């Protein structure tokens, strides 16, 4: 892993962590364990050794599934979890700035979902992973949605107004947007801001209770599907 990479550890998959560098490493570990425990389907098995046997070459999933718009012809989705387990930051950053050249969203700036390359759906069945670019000078319009959103500031500085309260943030910070709260983002300073976020949208979409509204003007909201994308 490199800084800002996304790595998946799918359900019921052996995995262990290690640091082969001379510097300490810190990463965000997002787990849906509370949901699994609530559903009474949480399992844990101890591997018989200290480390698992490595049977595939480094970069296997990335080389096989990382082409994005292309996939192995004989491959079909076996589970709802993405078979691509390593999403490189350099690819995500390039995709953000490519999209920024042609389009942006008035409420989210430039935002991309990490997806399963075999299905086009979210990379994980219970959590969505997103990366979001707020170019310098961005002030988004307010919107709200069901679901819990956890943000991590990858770069830059800015602020998010949730309800009537403004929260300032900078690189390395975390902040939360609770369900169904009006919120909007803005950048501060001369640098672009990039936010990584996790949310439970896939679960809500499966249950049919995902909803999102855009604030058109004070007291007037419309379903987010009716909002217009803006040219770059």
Q: What is the per-residue DSSP string for 27-41?
A: ------HHHHHHTT-
Q: How many Å is the maximal CA-CA distance in the chain? A: 60
Rounded Cα distance, 176 and 107, in Å: 16
Does an H or E element contain 109, and which?
none
**What pLDDT does 16 receive?**
87
pTM of the model: 0.87
Does an H or E element contain 86, and which?
strand 86-87
The tokens of 153 are what? 């500031």
Rounded Cα distance, 224 and 141, in Å: 12
User: How many other C-beta atoms lie within 10 A of the C-beta of residue 78?
Assistant: 8
Q: Output the tens digit of pLDDT for each of the chain's 232 residues.
A: 899 999 998 888 888 888 989 999 999 999 888 888 888 888 888 888 888 888 888 888 888 887 777 777 777 777 788 988 999 999 999 999 999 999 999 999 999 999 998 888 999 999 999 999 999 999 999 999 999 999 999 999 999 999 999 999 999 999 999 999 999 999 999 999 999 999 999 999 999 999 999 887 666 777 776 555 656 5
**What pLDDT does 88 receive?**
95
Rounded Cα distance, 115 and 68, in Å: 9
Fold of 16-231: Jelly Rolls (2.60.120)
**What pLDDT does 89 receive?**
96
The tokens of 230 are what? 């803006």
The 8-class DSSP code of residue 174 comes to: E
**What pLDDT does 50 receive?**
86
**What pLDDT does 232 receive?**
55
HSE-CB for 163 with a 13 A CA cutoff = 7
**What pLDDT does 15 receive?**
87
- Sequence ranges of the domains in the chain: 16-231
Q: Are 198 and 30 in contact (CB under 8 A)?
A: yes
**What pLDDT does 228 receive?**
58
């Amino acid at each position: 892993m490199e800084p800002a990479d996304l790595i998946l550890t799918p359900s019921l998959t052996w995995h262990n962590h290690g640091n082969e560098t001379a510097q300490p490493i810190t990463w965000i570990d997002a787990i849906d364990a509370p949901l699994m425990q609530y559903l009474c389907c949480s399992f844990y098995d101890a591997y018989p050794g200290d480390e698992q046997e490595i049977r595939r070459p480094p970069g296997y999933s990335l080389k096989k599934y990382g082409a994005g718009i292309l996939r192995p012809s004989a491959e079909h989705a076996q589970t709802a979890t993405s078979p691509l387990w390593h999403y490189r930051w350099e690819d995500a950053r390039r995709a953000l700035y490519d999209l920024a050249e042609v389009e942006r969203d008035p409420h989210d700036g430039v935002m991309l979902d990490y997806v399963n390359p075999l299905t086009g759906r979210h990379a994980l069945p219970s959590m969505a992973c997103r990366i979001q670019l707020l170019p310098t000078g961005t002030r988004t319009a307010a919107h709200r949605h069901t679901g819990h959103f956890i943000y991590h500031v990858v770069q830059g500085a800015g602020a998010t107004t949730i309800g009537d309260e403004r929260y300032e943030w900078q690189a390395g910070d975390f902040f939360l947007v609770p369900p169904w709260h009006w919120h909007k983002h803005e950048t501060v300073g001369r640098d672009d801001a990039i936010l990584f976020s996790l949310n439970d949208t896939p679960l809500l979409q499966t249950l049919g209770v995902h909803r999102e509204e855009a604030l058109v003007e004070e007291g007037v909201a419309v379903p987010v599907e009716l909002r217009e994308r803006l040219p770059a």
